[in-house]
Structure 1
Amino acid sequence: MSTTTAIRTAVVTGASSGIGAATARQLAAAGYHVVLTARRKDRIEALAAEITAAGHSAAVHALDVTDRAAVDAFAASLDRYPSVDVLVNNAGGALGVDPVATGDPADWRTMYETNVIGTLNVTQALLPAITASGDGTVVVLSSTAGHATYEGGAGYVAAKNGARVLAETLRLELVGRPVRVIEIAPGLVKTEEFATTRFRGDTERAAKVYEGVAAPLTADDVAETVTWAVTRPSHVNIDLLVVRPRAQASNTKLHREL
């Protein structure tokens, strides 16, 4: 972290729920002015009100990360801050569990656009300001899906592999500049929306993902991991941090107490 006393600004995408919302809360508590972005403005406005009521600092900007013109306009609006120091690329998600043979190309396209192109859009737009801060950090929330395949997950695995490679390549390209690139790859995380969205609102199928798992990760667990990595001394880069619940040994090895 910089030794300056000026408030530092962190942008969190996909901040309307789950890991994004939890990360915004924890970065705000760590002293950052957090800029919350997501498509659902009402959700991020409520979160910003919660954060400010707790004595911290937050602002909101409704944003679809796949809309490059909107992303560029958002980046321009950040000129009012003394610096932009941290970007947490959290916006993403999964759709479906179909095998490759019958997977819907539209689902694959949506996942790629959000998880990869969305991350690319925001990173490209904010990178000049993050670099100019003199002590910047780009975080990419990937997934263990980006590191190992599993049946029925090819579309999401492909998208998260894209996000992983984006982070790895960016780190190589920025070496020598005052920007860290951190990848956080969570395993099984139980949030209020991820699995339900993947199963298109089927709450019963979503619940089965976590059935018998005594303690899956929570959004707060992952947010704490992100905040810890971001708040390491400036010379310390957490290249990759894989975080799973104890019950999960791999993407295909999960202990269930049934």
Structure 2
Amino acid sequence: MTTTTSDLWLRRFHPAPDAAVKLVCLPHAGGSATSFLRLSRELSPTIEVLAVQYPGRQDRIREPLIGSVAELAGLLLDVVVERDSRPTALLGHSMGALVAFELGLRMQSHGVRPVALFPSGRRAPILHRGPHRDEVQYHLAGDAELLARVARLGGTAAHLLADEYIRRAVLPAIRNDFRAAETYRGGDAVLDSPIFAMTGRTDPEVTLDEVRSWELHSRDAFDMRVFDGSHFFIFDSTTAVAAYASSALGSLATTDAA
């Protein structure tokens, strides 16, 4: 079987070629496509989840890491639009929200506007104009400090980080992705798509006002939903997140049909 570019980048855990909408999901810093396995199961077969696998991890471990949000978005443009012409929504968590936004802008400039953007667990790009709230630049920190940061956020199980072999395997991707997120400089660009922002009720990374600022990036509708949980609420409250995404996309289809 011939491997295509999209096969390298996109994982279809529950293929649903008859789904009316495809939802491209972009992982957090250090994350992989498998983090969206449960969301894919929840949404299939009504919505087909295409989970992005960044280079430099899991089955792409030998490929060079991409240390820029803008470069990642640029590489993904052809991948996302080449496969089929179905309406495409974008969902990104944490760093992935920034990649999703930049990808949406590129899609829009190429005449394939995403039907919706779901940014999760991240402040709006307009607020990314420099180091935030005197925050530590963790991509410049030592290994122990960076790994402690990841453990506090809960993105990687503590028992996995305790394994030296696993630490050596995942640390380069984690540091690379933190660099991409921490050096990202946003602007005031606007999408013609509706934005449905999501956040965890006890997320220490973002305030409600910072998440609400995503409204400034849409010429269309805006909604914000607060879920139970902390920074990684999206994986702890998957059923509720899936219901929200399904309802939002269903309401768009109803509006378009009217």
Normalised-by-shorter TM-score class: 0.3 to 0.5
| TM-score, length basis structure 2 | 0.43
